[in-house]
Amino acid sequence: MKIRPSRPGRKARVKPRLDRSQIVQAALDLLDDVGFDALTMRNLAKKLGVKAASLYWHVHNKQDLLSLLADEICASMREPDRTLPWRRQLEELGNEYRHVLLAHRDAARVLAESGAPSGPHRLRLTEILFRTLLDAGFNHKDAAYAGFLVSDYVTMFVLDETQDVNTDAADASKDQSSDLQTWFKALPAHEYPSLIALADYLTAPNADERFRFGIEILENGLETRLERQ
């Protein structure tokens, strides 16, 4: 198994020569370790034992890196069984995408800031989504719009699902009242009756249940649209 073409001098592995995919992998590790805000070109370079400027030989800029990173994150996405009814397929797609976004720290933020899909994995993901909608019988325009809708829903959902954690933690640490539920109920009852009435579900939402709710609404809405089409 000793296939190592590059001359294996004594310290061959000390300078493994940078490489796009190596950079992306390191960025993903760094993301999981320190989160999106600390994912900087300089920290990434440090992790790779290199100077920040070196990265720019392999990557146009940070935007480019984020785009590559977003694609890498989507690499583990598995596609649903195409023989299932479209609603089931959409559910699988939604669940799978959500789990992909939950698999790495701040992944939703990476996806949100990485621009339109251009890498193979994200293109594949959107292809499957649109294909499912076309298979279901939507016309081109509706399929396109519905695809945006579903994919935006999942991204947005995970986005605030994961930054509620941050906010909660922040509030808990710096505010004396760690319960923002009590904060809610302390609002002027005359001005915000509905807010107060709903406080229980606004503050401690069951994420899985709430996600499921949104998917159901979207599916019901799409089905109605399909029937009337």
Interface residue list for DNA (CB under 7 A): 15, 17-18, 38, 40-43, 50-54, 56-58, 61-63
Instruction: Provide, rounded to whole angstroms, the least separation between the CB of residue 108 and DNA.
Output: 19
Q: Residue type at 67? A: S
Alpha-carbon gap, residue 10 to 136, rounded angstroms:
60
| Alpha-helical regions (H) of the chain | 20-34, 41-47, 52-58, 62-73, 86-102, 107-113, 120-136, 140-174, 180-185, 193-197, 199-203, 207-228
- Contact letters (x/-) for a copy of itself, 165-204, by CB under 8 A? --x-------------------x---xxxxx-xx-xxx--
Alpha-carbon gap, residue 73 to 100, rounded angstroms:
7
The first and second tokens of residue 168, run together, are 């909660």
Q: 70: closest CA among 31, 41, 96, 17?
A: 31
Beta carbon nearer to a copy of itself, 12 or 204:
204
Residue list 4-43, contact with a copy of itself (CB under 8 A): none
Alpha-carbon gap, residue 118 to 106, rounded angstroms:
20
Please identify, among the stretches 8-16, 32-40, 64-72, 211-219, the one whose residues bind a copy of itself according to the rule CB under 8 A.
211-219
Fill in the DSSP letter of residue 11: T
Instruction: Provide, rounded to whole angstroms, the least separation between the CB of residue 67 and a copy of itself.
Output: 11
- Contact letters (x/-) for a copy of itself, 102-141, by CB under 8 A? -------------xx------xx-xx--xx--x-----xx
With CB under 5 to 8 Å by kind, the binding choice for 213 among DNA, a copy of itself, none is a copy of itself
Instruction: Provide, rounded to whole angstroms, the least separation between the CB of residue 11 and a copy of itself.
Output: 41
Report CA torsion sign: 107, 108, 114, 119: positive
Q: Where on the chain is the footprint of a copy of itself (CB under 8 A)?
A: 115-116, 123-124, 126-127, 130-131, 134, 140-149, 152-153, 155-157, 160, 167, 187, 191-195, 197-198, 200-202, 205, 210, 213-214, 216-225
